[in-house]
Structure 1
Amino acid sequence: MFSCVGYGTKASEQPLGPFSFERRDCGPRDVQIDILYCGVCHSDLHQARNEWGNTIYPCVPGHEIVGRVARVGAEVTRFKEGDLAGVGCMVDSCRTCAACKEGLEQYCEQGFTPTYNGNDPSGGPTFGGYAKAVVVDQDFVLKVPANLDLAGVAPLLCAGITTYSPLRHWQVGPGQKVGIVGLGGLGHMGVKLAHAMGASVVLFTTSPGKSEDARRLGADEVVISKDEAQMAAHANSFDLIVDTVAAPHDINSYLALLKRDKTLVQVGAPGEPLAVQVFNLIMKRRSFAGSLIGGIAETQEMLDFCAEHGITADIEMIAIQDIEAAYSRMLKSDVKYRFVIDMQTLQ
């Protein structure tokens, strides 16, 4: 074990602050990474404040990690010291179930091991990327393309793969019409990725002020979802709609925009159940689906795709000491579009 410095909390009512803890030593198959940047996901706030009721304390959040390899174990073949590397939302899985064997570790039947708030193989909880270093099995470490802005890569490891995975699963490509609901951390990546895949992209938002930015990011059209006439003009016309909204909202108006046999996939996670009018599904044999991040192979594919197309997240860099202020702003949707911590500010 070695001593590591990070930012964490020991209770839901306590703000994040400096925290020293023990990391496991680099084992034969492990990669030790000096963390350069860590993205700030809304789930970090949920977990730090125990809003999902499952937080393991002490808690060090962070699962959008980019850094440089500092040490590798004797059996590591995929990485060497000095390589750029990333770690996303998970650091292990059972590796033996049907999902894991298919490269779908995010759907591991035993439950994958999250990067933080999980159970580390060495005992105790896993601690995340709000820290100086992390040690992860090489099978769950990603190769980070050198041609991209490293800080902008960090959110790709959650927000990027969360939107890339459904776009790939439902085979988005040229000639298709794709809707993205919401223009936040997830939505802005959905627009960028769907555009790069060659689709005609329509952004749905309740905020007219986001129209110009949506077009800058790659949207071909912007629809104000509160305008019934604008919505009705797109009835029965979409091949896929990806809904990134995490607040309670009416999804039935979006289901009505799908062609026959097409899908609305939910990646935002509202805290309350969403009501579905079943006739919106029955009459056109439409589907309402969900999607959760991506497996390791698909996440690497996403990073390589982003490298090819020059895609990174739009970010605002912060110092680790400003994390609580960032959380407060995140609750107000006051960020375009993802906070990223410069880990060099952690002393």
Structure 2
Amino acid sequence: MIKAYAAQEAGATLQMFEYDPGPLDVQDVEIDLEHCGICHSDLSMLNNEWGITQFPFVPGHEIIGIISAVGTHVHHLQPGDRVGLGWHSGYCLTCSACMSGDHNLCDNAEATIVGRYGGFAEKVRANAASVVVLPENMDPQSAGPLFCGGITVFNPLLQFNIAPTASVAVIGIGGLGHIALQFLKAWGCHVTAFTSSDHKKTEALELGADEVLDTRKLSDLKNSANRFDLILSTVNVKLDWNLFIATLRPKGRLHFVGATLTPLDINIFPLISAQRSLSGSPVGSPASIKTMLAFAERHQIKPIVEAYRFDQVNEALARLASGKVKYRIVISNQ
């Protein structure tokens, strides 16, 4: 039996829960949990905001732990390996996306907390293909958020071949944005932070921004016309996207990694006239995650985290819901 923290209905307090995982699949691994990040997606799933949550619900998809058992067909991992597991716990491995290395785009990918029990537990199981070994010198406590938030902002740099000479802006300096600033600075880009928070300006500069612009000031946006090769939007709120599109250079891209739930009100002519693009992306493939971890280790990039014990999961979730987290939450089983 595996002990976990689960909600029995939408929005409910998490309580102790036990389940029988059954025999270990030949392609799976079992991981003893050390740390697990808490992502806003965990909160959305807990509240069933997307209408796909199954109860009892065990959150947790930014998992760091030690492999305790491997299936008989698993040969590249072994007990004792410290590994990470993110949003996906398995892939079909036969579709065109998987065969092209884009496992994160697999139509049949299994999400770690959708239809299965996640990482707010003493153990978790996953297909070995979705598990990535943690670099030896990486801090395991802060590494969990890299497997969701980190790869979400790193993946576009790979997918769009962003040059180190590019001028890149980040909208929103929070759980995603604070990691994006660090990656972009180490990548070599000229980095601009867009924020509406006065107290985050100094922090953004410390995290790697070369300059900070205020999204509340129309003059800041108008004075930035034709400046950026890429803008990463990490926010989930409605903004005047046309103002940001005007700051893109010809062939520039406004890329969404934050899930704004309102329709985009976009004027098409600024896109056509300057061949600008709109796009979005999810997390990355296991290969991209491995590349990101190596890059983060080389440049000593770490998410900024607030730490809680596993038995403080409800307190940690309340802290996340308050919007006052700086900048990610990690619960630890130690």
Q: Shorter-chain TM-score category?
A: over 0.9
Correspondence list, 1:123-272, <5 A? 126-272=116-262
Identify the residue that residue 342 of structure 1 maps to in structure 2: 332
**Structure 1, 84-93 or 327-336: larger mean CA deviation:** 327-336
Contact 2:91 2:130 in 1 (8 A): no
Correspondence list, 1:5-44, <5 A? 5-44=3-42
* Whole-Å separation in 1 of the counterparts to 2:320 and 2:280: 24
Gap runs ≥5 in structure 1: 119-125
Contact 1:130 1:343 in 2 (8 A): no
Contact 1:170 1:240 in 2 (8 A): no
Q: Does 1:112 align with 2:109?
A: yes
Q: CA deviation at 1:299?
A: 1.2
* Whole-Å separation in 2 of the counterparts to 1:283 and 1:28: 54
Contact 1:184 1:333 in 2 (8 A): no
TM-score, normalised with respect to structure 1: 0.93
Once the two structures are superposed, residues 132-174 of structure 1 have per-residue CA deviations (whole angstroms, 9 ceiling, x without a partner) of 0112221111111121111110000000000001122122232
Give the number of aligned pairs. Answer: 334
* Whole-Å separation in 2 of the counterparts to 1:136 and 1:288: 33
TM-score, normalised with respect to structure 2: 0.96
* Whole-Å separation in 2 of the counterparts to 1:255 and 1:332: 31
Residue type of the partner of 2:83? A
Residue type of the partner of 1:337? Y
Q: Does 1:282 align with 2:282?
A: no
**Structure 1, 73-82 or 310-319: larger mean CA deviation:** 73-82
Match for 2:282 among 282, 292, 306?
Answer: 292
* Whole-Å separation in 1 of the counterparts to 2:288 and 2:78: 22
Contact 1:317 1:341 in 2 (8 A): yes
Once the two structures are superposed, residues 27-55 of structure 1 have per-residue CA deviations (whole angstroms, 9 ceiling, x without a partner) of 33322110100000001011111111111
**Structure 1, 276-285 or 30-39: larger mean CA deviation:** 276-285
Contact 2:35 2:63 in 1 (8 A): yes
- SS of 1:185's equivalent? coil
* Whole-Å separation in 2 of the counterparts to 1:40 and 1:242: 22
Q: CA deviation at 1:331?
A: 2.9
Q: Residues 327 and 248 of structure 1: is their aligned pair in 2 closer, same or farther, counting only changes over 3 Å?
A: farther
* Whole-Å separation in 2 of the counterparts to 1:324 and 1:219: 34
Residue type of the partner of 1:186? L
Once the two structures are superposed, residues 116-137 of structure 1 have per-residue CA deviations (whole angstroms, 9 ceiling, x without a partner) of 122xxxxxxx110101011222
Residue type of the partner of 1:130? F
**Structure 1, 58-67 or 77-86: larger mean CA deviation:** 77-86
Q: CA deviation at 1:328?
A: 2.8
Gap runs ≥5 in structure 2: none
